[in-house]
A and B are shown apart, each in its own frame.
Chain A
Amino acid sequence: MGQKVLIVDDHADIRRLVRLTLGKSYEVFEAEDGVTALETAQRERPAVVVLDVMMPGALDGFQVLKAIKSDPDLKSTKVIMATARGQFEDYKTGKSMGADEYVIKPFSPIRLAGMIKEFVG
């Protein structure tokens, strides 16, 4: 088993897409809301988190990002924001909060896989 990757998205199709793209090279976890995502991240300490922004529940993507980046245990965790919010403001917010990459839906799953591979090394 390879590195851990956490996929956070409220849409099952997207989670499935990312999982399919990454294939067997990574240990893939899924979360469909912010709270679950943060719990999973803190528990599994994934190398990469693919994080949606707009999600139901108490925490949205940015809050999760903030929490991850402020968690010393998750210092090495790279976060790729994958969101349907395409405005430049969102991109800026994400970057300023420490997102390592920011992709806008619809994205190329091949390129996302490339990004993750790069982060994992």
Chain B
Amino acid sequence: MSRMIHPLRFTACMRALLLPLSIVAAFVFTGKVGLMFAHGEGYDASGLFPPAGIALACALVYGKRAWPWIFLGSLLLNISTGFSSLSVTILGLAVALGLAGASLLQATIGAWIFRNTIGYPLVLTSGWLVSRFIFSTLAACLVSASLSLGILMAAGRASLETLPFSWLTWYVGDSLGVILALPLTMTLIGEPRILWRSSRLKLWALIGFGLIVLGALTHRVNVWEKEQALAEFRVQSQQIGDLLLYRLTEQEFLVSQLAALMAGTTPISRQEFSRIASNARAHFKASIQAIEWAPRIENSGRTAFELRQQQDFPKFVIQERNATGNPVVAASRSDYLPVSYVEPVSGNEVAVGFDLASNSSRRITIEAARRTAAPVATPPLKLVQERGSQQGLLLVNWVPGGANGPGLTLVVLRLSDFINGVVADSDPHSMVRLVDADAGNAVLHDGFRGTRPGMWTERQFNFGGRHYTLQIAPTTTYLTVHRAWQSWWLLAGGLSLLGMLSISFLLLSAHAVRMEEMVTERTLDLDSARRSAEQASNLLREAVESIAQGFSIYDPDDRLVLCNDAYLDFHGTNRDEMRFGITFEEFSRCTAQSGQYEAAKGRVEEWVAERVEQHRRAGGEVIQQQLANGHWLMILEYRTPSGYIAANHIDITALKMVTEELRQRELYLRAVIDNLPFMFWLKDTDSRFLAVNTHFSDACGLSAPEQMIGRTDLDIWPRALAEQYRADDRKVMEGRSEKSLEEPIETNGRRHWIETFKKPVVADDGKMLGIVGFARDITERKEMEEALAESRERWELAVAGANDGIWDWNPVTGEAYFSPRWKAMLGYADDEISAHFDEWKSRIHPEDAARVMLDLRGHMTGETGNFQCEFRMRCRDGRYKWILSRGRALLDGQGKPVRVTGSSTDTTARHDAEARISDRNEQLNAIFSVSPDGFVSFDRNHRVKYVSPAFLRLTALNEASVVGLGEEEFSKRLRRICLPHASFRGIEHLRHAGDQQVGRELIELSAPCHRVLEIGLRQSDAETVSQILYFRDVTHETEVDRMKSEFLATAAHELRTPMASIFGFSELLLCQEFDEETRRELVETIHRQSGLITAIVNELLDLARIEARRGKDFMFEPLSLGNLVEVAAGLYKVPPGRNPPLIHAPDVSLHIMADSIKTQQAVTNLISNAYKYSPAGGDVSIRFVTRQEGARALAGIEISDQGIGMTPAQVAHVFERFYRADTSGKIPGTGLGMSIVKEIVEIQNGHVDVQSTLGQGTTVTIWLPLGTLTDDISNPEQAS
């Protein structure tokens, strides 16, 4: 949007600002002009102060309105004049404010005095009034002069001695200002306008001319006065200049004398220099900052010089100034001019050691001094010892050489000190300014202190080879003392005279104006009266003729005096047939008889009587008559104050038709509005009913709508209510806005709710015509809503504690209510969600939205009794919450939902928990499903709650048949599948069997197969689980345990048997005497049995080692099967009398990957068995065979005997440890050989075949994989 100011408004602003700006501008401008007549400086009062008059005039004319601007104008004036000689300070500002206040006060008081003595509008038409004007002015002007000077005194800006004079000038200036400026201002703005405006030009001309003459005169006198004053001052300034020049010349003399001294043949010590210099300072009365000696020092002599100087000044060092003006040790140069002698030292310490050659401006001067050999002054500079802001100057003289060597003598001057010392002695009334003309008129000393004196004298002079200008001006004190009064008196007198003149002029001109005015007015009055009378008469005539209506005038005697053609025409006659003077009755009768009027037909006399009566009444009533030609006339008759009867006859035929049509329309309209299903009314702008329908009139308790017409609400409703309605109407019409409201109305003791809609009726041209209203009874809906709201409130209260949010939706409008809790649930503040259904809908998770809306629609169409749905809603932070929303729709009579109200519960926590539980369940199920152990958990009532899949697998029980069983029932059920000797003793038993936490028991199952289960019971502290039974399949472990103990028993038994022989026989040998042969036999038995024990122990150890190592100590290597068998056969000692084994060499060379030693042992064991179990003899033969077994090729060593052989039952046991086919004990053996063979072969990925026939012999084949070097056999890890 652009921020343009509308042009009209801009102009208005300008106009509003014009007056204040004018006041301020006039104030400042005239003030400045007035000060031109001033007689002094600064605040000193002016000889003529017009602002006083302007201020008074403005205060008089505008009153309070002008105050701020008077104050502002005065303030600006004071600031602009006062601060020219004063720096802007708080005090200065305060003074300016005070003076402005005083001006304002004077203007206000003055205006008050004027109003009370002369009155306003200001009329100065008599001498008496003029004298009151003068006196009022003189009285009012006491204020500012007194107050202002008081303020200046208090601020120290005025002295007591000049006070009377200041007061007088101020007072006179103000008074003259009022006398002159007030009339001038009044000519611009004053009342009575006519008086002031008429004399405006002349007054301005008079005063303007007077002021110019007076100004010129005053100026002349002023110039003369100044000349007088300055003549005296010039003499004085000449003297001051002379003195100053003299003193400066003295300095030149001093420095050159010192140079001569230093150039002499006598060396001058520091003490001598000090003495001479201090004498010189005392002698030359001028203020000298310092007298110095700066010798020229070569760089080579620098250190020696410094050391010498340090005897007097311990810290002496040649210095210079860095960029920031701080002293630093001088940089190395070819030569230096350090200040070494200084008088006085005090105040000049910083100069000691300062190298004058280090500074460029000084160096130029020094060079000049060298050339001229005369005193040379530096341009204005800041001395190194300067702490203030004075300008300094060095006057130097070069010493080319001598007893003290080359160097410089210097006189250092701080110029303000110097000049003040000189001038103060002579004249306190002068201000001196010294300017170096060679340094671009740089000011060396400014005694003017920033002021611009009105005059000064100037003088050029030379000093130290430079050109200077000396300016001397008189001080204010001087001017005050030398003030001349001639011009002031002239001015004051002149102005007074001018004021008197102008007032006299005003007096005269006012009188003249008044006379002139009176004559003009009277003449104009007469002229215009005559003219208007003529005009009126003409107008009347013309008007009467020109109007289309019939017009007539009858005199008080009822005779026709005037009529127009139209009138005659309506009566079926014309001017020729007509005669004036006829009475109304005669004329009417004539017309009636001619059949002109329809209503008179057949009843002429009656009609005439009627008309005459109406005519005489002439009450302005509307009389309608139909003419014979079908036209309708409307007759209006009225009596004039002078008793004449004027009548209008208007042809209203067209109007009649239109009216008829309108009536028809109105009937239609009425039918329409009466049939509207709500109340309807139309009011005019005064809130009078123009039309209403029957609904409305019924509601108002009136029988017909027509009764309402013309009435107002005040006639119908109680006053308060009616006033309220009318106020509403006004608001609607003024605001041109519609208004809709719902309000309760008490009717017949019952409360109704009425919904009202009002709308202004505006014509096409924007004119307000009235107001139209509609209303209907919404009591039913309202009650329903109230009931709803009430129930909602109750509900909200009820659920507030439950943390549920409430929503309430109007599906018709889409509006919705959400309780603060509902919003808070989603993280919103109460005002962050608008009352619309979309707020609810849009926050539903996209995946849930369709489902939710389906549910909601289903409920709203009556499919479901309640709306209940759980879904995710988006929170303020974008996260989703699970919300359980429950609601119910309220249906209207047609079954359409009008409201749906419900609650929302945050179920996120529950959902999370469920998800966690579900997750955990899955994990547990996964664990249970892979766990080999079965679990059965019991609930708090000790009923089976859960059985794991593993339990069902172990027991082959059906889940349904177990879950829900009590402890005892469960125990029974389990017992049914147990073996009787290892049945389940019951949970109760378990509970007591174990410690507090875990009990264990082993059971054996008969079904589904033989299983040994370990049952454990764990008591649980969990809330839902009282105890857990777990079932572990320990069948294998039990079997291994059993086999282990059996093996141990067998091994023990096998050892005990030979041991029994050894123990028994040896005991016998010890205790009994035997013959040698028996004895030998017994010892042999002992020896044999000992051998057996040893063999058993060895083989047991072999077996144990093989088992324990599981092939890890097997050294796989490529072996030739033939070689292997030959070696093995060679190891076996063939029993005496038996043939060695018959080895059938293989057709091809067979190789295996095997452990040579172990495989040999296996083969040897088999050969040994073959011989052992063929006690009757017969060959033992060895063959080599090969076989393909799936993907692998096997090589076999087949060892056959022709011995006792075995039954199939015996063959089945052949690999059992300690099993021996021979039970006679005749064949020695441990029963472990075959076990060892089996272990060795199987570890090498082979297997052992046994074929045996009882009584015929046995063939045992060792099958081992045929191998090459590259075969997988080469990898023992894989092989094992």
Contacts and interface: CB of A to CB of B under 8 A. Distances in A.
Contacts of A87: 1049
B1223 A56 contact: yes
Given A10-B1224, A85-B1049, A107 B1057 contact: no
Nearest to B1078: A20
SS class of chain B's interface: helix, strand, loop or mixed?
A: helix
A33 B1065 CA distance: 22
A17 B1057 CA distance: 12
Interface in A1-53: 10-14, 16-17, 20-21, 32-33
Contacts of B1058: 13
Contacts of B1064: 14, 17, 21, 106-109
Contacts of A85: 1049, 1052-1053
A24 B384 CA distance: 157
B1071 interface: yes
Given A11-B1057, A32-B1224, A110-B1071, A17 B1065 contact: yes
Interface residues of A, number: 26
Contact of A17 (B1054, B1061, B1226): B1061
A22 to B, nearest CB: 11
B1223 A106 contact: no
Interface string A62-86: 0000000000000000000000111
Nearest to A56: B1223
Interface string A53-64: 011110000000
Nearest to B1220: A56
Contact of A21 (B1055, B1068, B1089): B1068
B1068 A105 contact: no
Contacts, number: 77
Contact of A12 (B1054, B1071, B1078, B1225): B1225
A32 B1223 CA distance: 9
A114 B1223 CA distance: 30
Contacts of B1224: 10, 12, 32
A14 B1052 contact: no
B1225 A84 contact: no
A54 B1218 CA distance: 13
A114 to B, nearest CB: 12
A104 B1057 contact: no
Interface residues of B, number: 27
A54 B1053 contact: yes
Chain A at the B interface: SS class: loop
B1067 A13 contact: no
B1060 interface: yes
Nearest to B1082: A20
B1085 A106 contact: no
A56 B1224 CA distance: 9
A109 to B, nearest CB: 5
A104 B1056 contact: yes
Nearest to A90: B1049
Nearest to A86: B1052
Interface in B1213-1257: 1223-1226
A47 B1085 CA distance: 29
B158 interface: no
A20 B1068 CA distance: 8
B461 interface: no
B1059 A13 contact: no
A54 B1059 CA distance: 16
A87 B1225 CA distance: 23
Nearest to A108: B1067
Nearest to B1065: A17
Interface string B129-141: 0000000000000
Given A32-B1224, A85-B1049, A86-B1056, A13 B1068 contact: no
Contacts of B1065: 13, 17, 20
Nearest to B1070: A110
A105 B1089 contact: no
Interface in B1068-1086: 1068, 1071-1072, 1078, 1082, 1085
B1062 interface: yes
A110 B1069 CA distance: 11
Contacts of B1053: 54, 84-85
A105 B1067 contact: no
A32 B1225 CA distance: 10
Contacts of A32: 1224
B1063 interface: yes
Nearest to A18: B1064
12 contacts: A11-B1060, A12-B1225, A17-B1064, A17-B1068, A55-B1223, A57-B1223, A84-B1055, A84-B1057, A85-B1049, A105-B1057, A106-B1064, A109-B1067
Interface of A: 10-14, 16-17, 20-21, 32-33, 54-57, 84-87, 104-110
Given A16-B1085, A55-B1223, A106-B1059, 7 more contacts: A21-B1068, A84-B1057, A84-B1060, A86-B1056, A105-B1060, A107-B1064, A109-B1064
